[in-house]
A and B are shown apart, each in its own frame.
Chain A
């Protein structure tokens, strides 16, 4: 009896402590987001003087104004297009390569894989001149393709690394039985490896959606025409060289954050078992 009481108290104490920590951290994460949404409803004058999270007179129209002023009609859909294209291409190419590195056999395989892994580690600010010259020579400056391909490159080293770790765990017997069923390499990749890798792919999607969605340095470098630019170009309208229109900026930023959160919500179901199968099973 006593020991049961003891365990119940212990469990209760643990829960109180656990929730204190969780709620404290959650507050620290939620506050900026709430502030951002709240500020989106204020005006330039009240944004730094009214400290309430939700203003007395909410300016809901800020969202509409932000959408139109920032020309999101163009930029938002451009960004959706770029994000989908980059992530699709990235997932396709890197999963194929990772599959080859993991399950197939060919000369210089290890050397090539190591090269990819090394590139993942080397960040190079200063590449932009070389990249621009290259894109100009390929006639890809100011084209959508010229914006998509370098970003596929930027994400694929890490993706290949992650996916290969994952493919490595697929039991040899599964592959053999598929082969007996008449699957060739492509069949094994398509029908065995890819479905099993869904979770790892979800990780790759989340990582890269955020990166592509927020990208602007490359966009500014290679696009000249406004109609090709992604979302962050729209937000520039509110960030003058000196003057920042904070309320509208916050409304614009709020709009841009929502799709990313949705992607995460959709994808996180997969991640859970994803990392598991990829990295844990010894």
Chain B
């Protein structure tokens, strides 16, 4: 009898050992870590610089660049991709807690979070490097792109003034229009609308011809806010927007009400395609690429996306329609993506050298050619494909909330985007939205005051 028991135990422990082995093998083969900034080494090839990013469509070019760099300098750069963006955000935040961020990383977040990373001591101040040799490096970039990486004196977050990131490419968001559909509706395909009145007129004509108008990924509220920002900058200019963010101008100001009402006007004139307020951008892109809608509000990347889906698509690009002559037309844009250097890394110097190399003209050109993103280096923007030229030219008009010393509270931003959706479908009035935003803003300001008071 006891023999039986022994056999049972033997069998059981066999199973256990098998499992332990399974895990154990795994444990061993995976124990090399290339992520520690201290550079714990990987058995095969020790990376000098480790980079984390989320840009799945740029990964192949990044790998190619890393190989080139190794060939030229002998330095091994290891690009590690973590996608989609939520997963990447999680990873960066979690690693910050254990101080295991890599030498170079991107931050996928608002200015507020960027500031938190800096204040927690994770991001190296690059001003000295940028301004060395008569600011040679600094001057290479589009000013607007660098502005997003810069914290100015007296910024709301109390971050030490400086440049904290290196823009890799830039983007902006404009209107694409389908020339064939314009012609079909009796519109001049070479004359896109310039003013808001013309834009509305175009919408009416399209509607009369039974053609769907504007599509965009407006289920993602940041894309609605892009257009709202464009209108607001054009209508009230930088100073008044700054004042709004600071809390000195309320959202019930007539100019803001006007911004909100423009969306209602577009809807009433039939400019907006049916159902576009809950479209995800990929769906909007399919719709435009297949000629099912005449206008798309989309970013620089659209050039690449439309070419893939429908190479025969005959389209043009225009700037956001002008509402007022008081201030220049604004295009939402800035750095498409940028890299930061880990202030705790032991390889800061190497990381810096690599990023400097990566933003030089030949590398920027390769990046732009392969990914169809605009280069962040001004000089390489000279000879890019024609479709992108217009986007490159528009960088002059680019505005972005992070260029300002103040930024809006996330809850207010969300409420504005959602509120505009509701205005479009007619379940909220512009006045109601303004009142809601004013109340929310006050609440958040109070919270901030309380926090400041507690801090002192």
Instruction: Kindly state whether residue A60 has any CB partner on chain B within 8 Å.
Output: no
A34 CB to nearest chain B CB (Å): 20
**Contacts A/B (CB < 8 Å), 16 sampled:** A45-B310, A49-B310, A84-B22, A132-B94, A133-B98, A141-B35, A143-B31, A144-B30, A145-B23, A146-B30, A183-B4, A187-B4, A220-B91, A221-B91, A221-B94, A241-B54
Instruction: Kindly state whether residue A55 has any CB partner on chain B within 8 Å.
Output: no
Is the pair A144, B87 in contact by a Cβ cutoff of 8 Å? no
Bound CA span A158–B94, Å:
27
Q: What 0/1 pattern do residues 1 to 37 of B give for CB contact below 8 A with A?
A: 1001100110110011001001111110111111100
Residues of A within 8 A of B93 (CB): 129
Instruction: Kindly state whether residue A169 has any CB partner on chain B within 8 Å.
Output: no
Bound CA span A84–B22, Å:
9
- Which A positions have Cβ atoms within 8 angstroms of B? 44-45, 47-49, 81, 84-85, 88-89, 92, 128-129, 131-133, 136, 139-146, 148, 182-184, 186-187, 190-191, 216-217, 220-221, 223-226, 228, 236-237, 239-245
User: Of all chain B residues, which has the CB nearest A140?
Assistant: B27
A132 CB to nearest chain B CB (Å): 4
Is the pair A88, B22 in contact by a Cβ cutoff of 8 Å? yes
* Residues of B34-80 whose CB lies within 8 A of A: 34-35, 42, 50, 54-59, 80
Residues of B within 8 A of A89 (CB): 19, 23
User: Of B191-199, B301-309, B342-350, which binds chain A?
Assistant: B301-309
- Which B positions have Cβ atoms within 8 angstroms of A? 1, 4-5, 8-9, 11-12, 15-16, 19, 22-27, 29-35, 42, 50, 54-59, 80-88, 90-91, 93-95, 97-98, 100, 282, 286, 289-290, 299, 301-302, 304-305, 308-311
Residues of A within 8 A of B286 (CB): 48
User: Of all chain B residues, which has the CB nearest A216?
Assistant: B87
B421 CB to nearest chain A CB (Å): 22
Is the pair B26, A187 in contact by a Cβ cutoff of 8 Å? no
A157 CB to nearest chain B CB (Å): 20
Q: Summarize B's interface: helix, strand, loop or mixed.
A: helix
Residues of B within 8 A of A49 (CB): 290, 310
Residues of B within 8 A of A190 (CB): 8, 11-12
Bound CA span A132–B9, Å:
36
Is the pair A92, B15 in contact by a Cβ cutoff of 8 Å? yes
User: Given the interface contacts A48-B289, A132-B94, A186-B9, does A241 sit within 8 Å of B57 by beta carbon?
Assistant: yes
Is the pair B83, A220 in contact by a Cβ cutoff of 8 Å? yes
Residues of B within 8 A of A183 (CB): 4-5
Residues of A within 8 A of B94 (CB): 128-129, 131-133, 221
User: Given the interface contacts A48-B289, A243-B308, does A221 sit within 8 Å of B26 by beta carbon?
Assistant: no
Residues of A within 8 A of B59 (CB): 237
New contact pairs (8) apart from A145-B27, A220-B87, CB-CB < 8 Å:
A129-B94, A186-B12, A224-B33, A225-B30, A228-B30, A237-B56, A240-B56, A241-B56
User: Of all chain A residues, which has the CB nearest B32?
Assistant: A225
Residues of A within 8 A of B15 (CB): 92
User: Top 9 closest A-B pairs, CB basis?
Assistant: A144-B26, A240-B57, A132-B94, A220-B87, A242-B301, A182-B1, A224-B35, A143-B30, A145-B27
Is the pair A132, B33 in contact by a Cβ cutoff of 8 Å? no
Residues of A within 8 A of B32 (CB): 142, 225
